[in-house]
Amino acid sequence: MANTYTQMHIQCVIAVKYRQSQIGDDWKDQLHNYITTTLQNYGHKMLAINSMPDHLHLFFGFRPNQSLADLMRIVKNESSAWINDKQFTKAVFKWQEGYGAFSYSRSHVKSVISYVLNQEEHHRKRTFLEEYHQFLEQFEIEYDERNVFKQPE
């Protein structure tokens, strides 16, 4: 895209289906590397990635060469297939439908990187759902509680 200049920083949050604690400490770094490579293959730049057993945060420089929805579909489909191929989990691994996406200005990049990399510390004080609701409220996103990362049925 000649003469197209952009600066978009996006943090996406995705949850394991039913928020099950399936992401293991022993393989989460491999998952982070796999997802980073996937993003880079599509021209985006990973700034920070981290996960807890039931969800994952990715913060990246977004290029407008594809839609965010397409990128997240690819990341989720390819990473879940990779996890299942590697047999990292006893049950079939799936990401929950949907995701959260939040944009930041350049002045917030360092603090968001720090936030993503320090997930373990944040979750000593609040749950994933509390954290996610805080994002939705901070960014003034209207939502239906019935559609926010569903509980097991």
Query: Has residue 152 been placed in a domain?
Result: no
Give this prediction's pTM.
0.87
Tell me the residue type at 51: S
Query: Has residue 67 been placed in a domain?
Result: yes
Tell me the residue type at 124: R
Which neighbouring-strand residues pair with 104?
9
Residue 151: pLDDT band by 50, 70, 90 thresholds?
low
User: What does the pLDDT look like over 49-63, one tens digit per residue?
Assistant: 999 999 999 999 999
User: Can you give the CATH number for the domain in which 132 is found?
Assistant: 3.30.70.1290
User: What would the mean pLDDT of 66-77 be, rounded to a whole number?
Assistant: 98
Range of the domain at 89: 9-147
Per-residue tokens: 72: 């997240």
Query: Has residue 48 been placed in a domain?
Result: yes
Tell me the residue type at 131: E
Q: How many CB atoms lie within 10 A of CB 58?
A: 27
* pLDDT at residue number 150: 62
User: What would the mean pLDDT of 110-139 be, rounded to a whole number?
Assistant: 87
User: What would the mean pLDDT of 77-89 be, rounded to a whole number?
Assistant: 98
Query: Has residue 64 been placed in a domain?
Result: yes
Q: What is the DSSP letter of 95?
A: B
Residue 72: pLDDT band by 50, 70, 90 thresholds?
very high
Residue 121: pLDDT band by 50, 70, 90 thresholds?
confident
* pLDDT at residue number 18: 84
* Phi and psi angles of residue 47, each rounded to the nearest 5 degrees, phi first: -105, -35
Residues whose CB is less than 8 angstroms from the CB of residue 38 and which lie 6 or more positions away in sequence, other chains included: 74, 75, 78, 79
Query: Has residue 105 been placed in a domain?
Result: yes
Per-residue tokens: 126: 């609040």
Buried b (16+ CB within 10 A) or exposed e, 83-117: beeeebbeeebbbbeebbbbeeeeeebeebbebbe
Query: Has residue 2 been placed in a domain?
Result: no
Mean pLDDT lowest among 53-62, 97-106, 110-119, 126-135: 126-135
Number of helices followed by number of strands (H, E) in the chain: 5, 4
Number of domains in the chain: 1
